[in-house]
Amino acid sequence: MASQKICVVIVSGTRERLQMAAMVASVAAVSGHEVVVFLSMNALPFFVKDQSEPPPNEGVMGRLMEGKNIPAFKTLLEHAAALGDARILPCSMAMDVLGIEPQTLEPFVGEATGLTKFLDEAQDGQVWTF
C-alpha cells in the first residue's frame, strides 16, 4: 500500500468516537502513513493532563468497551505520535473558548493550530471526521 496523508478531525467527546478516531490514527501511523490529528470542540477537554472523568458512552458499544482490555484512546494517540509519523494538534479556537492553556495538555499533543492551517495541510490527504 502506498504511503499517503491521513487527516483525522476529532470533535466528539463520546467514548466510541474518540476510540475509533484513535484506532484509525494509530494504525495509519504505524503503517507508514503521515497522520495529522486535529482535536477540537468536545474532544479537546479529554486531552488535558490529569483529566480523570471518562467520556460518556454513546451507546451499547461504549458500555461494552468499559470492562474490556482495550488500549485507551489517549494511549493509542500517544503511541501513534511516538512510533509513527503522527502529529496531534489542538484547535487554537477551541483552546481559547474552553480556556485551555497549552501547558495543561498531554505531552504528546503538539502546538495549537488554526483551522485554516489544518485545512491547508489536509488538502492532499484523506480526511476522516469523528
- For domain 5-60+69-129, the CATH class is alpha beta
pLDDT averaged over 10-residue windows placed end to end, the chain, 130 residues = 88 98 97 97 97 92 90 96 93 98 98 97 96
Of residues 37, 49, 62, the one with CA closest to residue 122: 37
E strand or H helix at 94: helix 92-98
Looking at residue 1, its pLDDT comes to 59
Q: Contact at 8 Å (CB) between 41 and 94?
A: yes
Residue 97: how many CB atoms within 10 A of its CB?
A: 12
- Max CA-CA distance within the chain? 41
pTM: predicted TM-score of the whole model, two decimal places: 0.95
Domain ranges of the chain: 5-60+69-129
Looking at residue 52, its pLDDT comes to 85
